[in-house]
Structure 1
């Protein structure tokens, strides 16, 4: 798990867990970028053998940041990537999505292109294996309604499933599509899953039993929650407070892997 904390937006902390529930600190701070912030760090294990993070570099601006590590504890800054989008004022909450359908490496990021704090999800695709070059950001069809941020996408049963925060109502809403770039259709809006409002930073991970776990930040309460689905993302268990990290870790992403 990679996260920033309530006490620091400029340092990344790394945690690990044997059961996707009980997390302990592996290293913290584990990485501090040369400039700016490191909010919303999202993590993958790339085909080059490195762990990669992508993160929010600042409250305003047109860049996302990248760093990598061989061992999850020692990280090196790679670059800040400038998004060539006219009028881009805020570039928030980038999330990795490696498409199991074709192996493409993508970043889903929330963009404010009118300097009015209204966000829409956009998609970038890596154009080489070094992750140094990226496509021009393109709005994700169906999710490009006004004021959706913190979009997290997974692929399940041949479809793309997106959980995204409606910034006006503060609910996490749910949409599906046949293609990564959309068009997405919303199938869960408002308090559709019973998670309540003032939620953000959703992250999903596949469980050993074949189900899915979603984590999200109850930021107004300074609590972190999780909920499980055992029927293909259709229904979810009542939310539970995540032990240990509540009040400290913020907007994290979880990578499932075997270290044996």
Structure 2
């Protein structure tokens, strides 16, 4: 005979409240270290890392020299490096290997210093009209136990209603594949079609929802700003993109950290050759704090994750 336990809803809510308070207390007592992975120049020399103890001021590690040289892809670049701490405890990284290839790079590490052999994942090789694979990212789905890897690609002849002759006529949408082990991958599918040229998506979990931070890449008339879309499932469907959360400047490459109860979105002000940031407590009202953040000179399209003091000490020693 099955035994069913009845737990009052108030008890459930109170339990989650206690967990939230406990998490906040621990975060204040043992504040995380924010690690920023980025590239410089065109990505020829590979992976660069910087760290911050407050989420605002970042300092380069290893005297701002490369931690990992790129070895895969025709152009052997390591642009847009995205690192996450996986459910398996390892660090998993993907990156852009070339401006014009149909693949992305992948490697993993136990300590951010020693990496597995780099792989070239042909995620768009099946599409004859694919022109590129840009800015891949990884998000883990605790519900399905899968990792989702997603990136921007232009498919020739697709979405002609938003085709623009400017900027080499690129016309991107976001595509994805899933994996549980980084050995086998699901067939590539379309993830997000917002009705405009879109690149640089990054997805964060917010309670039961998933939030996609993305760049509106529209050139005519120019947008070049960051927006948000929401979904109840990591693989979508995602809502219509909201209003811009960035200002009159051109912004790209968003990455997101949570400073206790404050969302902070870092981004590349690429025409101004500097980094900026906006903050929010509710994902609705945003404050520009670009004058409060600092990154190593020449930082390009990075992603942020948290590490421990012990992990930072190993990186500093290396």
Tell me which of 137, 147, 154 is aligned to 1:105: 147
The number of residue pairs the alignment matches comes to 253
Distance 1:7 1:120 in 2: 23
Tell me which of 169, 187, 198 is aligned to 2:250: 198
Deviations 1:219-258 (CA, angstroms, capped at 9, x unpaired): 0000101121112x12111231464425411110101233
Higher-Rg member (1/2): 2
Ranges in structure 2 where 5+ consecutive residues have no aligned partner: 1-35, 158-168, 311-318
Distance 1:4 1:220 in 2: 16
Deviation at 1:158, TM superposition (A): 1.4
- Secondary structure in structure 2 of the residue aligned to 1:140: strand
Aligned to 1:66: 106
Residues 54/194 of structure 1: CA separation in 2 closer, same or farther (3 Å cut)? closer
Q: Judge conservation of contact 1:224–1:246 (CA < 8 Å) in 2.
A: no
Distance 1:157 1:186 in 2: 20
Deviates more, 1:240-249 or 1:60-69: 240-249
Deviation at 1:25, TM superposition (A): 1.9
Query: Is 1:174–2:174 an aligned residue pair?
Result: no
- Secondary structure in structure 2 of the residue aligned to 1:75: coil
Q: Judge conservation of contact 1:26–1:73 (CA < 8 Å) in 2.
A: no
Tell me which of 226, 240, 243 is aligned to 1:186: 240
Q: Judge conservation of contact 2:210–2:233 (CA < 8 Å) in 1.
A: yes
Tell me which of 68, 72, 81 is aligned to 2:121: 81
Query: Is 1:56–2:109 an aligned residue pair?
Result: no
- Secondary structure in structure 2 of the residue aligned to 1:255: strand
Deviates more, 1:244-253 or 1:148-157: 244-253
Distance 2:210 2:293 in 1: 30
- Secondary structure in structure 1 of the residue aligned to 2:61: strand
Distance 1:97 1:90 in 2: 21
Q: Judge conservation of contact 1:120–1:145 (CA < 8 Å) in 2.
A: no
Ranges in structure 1 where 5+ consecutive residues have no aligned partner: none
- Secondary structure in structure 2 of the residue aligned to 1:30: coil
Q: Judge conservation of contact 1:222–1:246 (CA < 8 Å) in 2.
A: no
Distance 2:178 2:309 in 1: 28
Aligned to 1:31: 68
Tell me which of 32, 40, 43 is aligned to 2:80: 40
Deviations 1:26-63 (CA, angstroms, capped at 9, x unpaired): 23211111141100000011234321210000000111
Aligned to 1:255: 305
Q: Judge conservation of contact 2:139–2:148 (CA < 8 Å) in 1.
A: yes
Deviation at 1:96, TM superposition (A): 1.0
Q: Judge conservation of contact 1:53–1:66 (CA < 8 Å) in 2.
A: yes
Deviation at 1:100, TM superposition (A): 3.4
Distance 2:195 2:142 in 1: 26
Deviations 1:84-111 (CA, angstroms, capped at 9, x unpaired): 4312210000011112333321111101
Q: Judge conservation of contact 2:71–2:118 (CA < 8 Å) in 1.
A: no
Distance 2:292 2:39 in 1: 16
Deviations 1:154-189 (CA, angstroms, capped at 9, x unpaired): 111311111111111211121112222222223523
Distance 1:211 1:225 in 2: 16
Deviation at 1:201, TM superposition (A): 0.1
Deviation at 1:144, TM superposition (A): 4.8
Higher helix share: 2
Deviation at 1:193, TM superposition (A): 2.4
Distance 1:99 1:26 in 2: 30
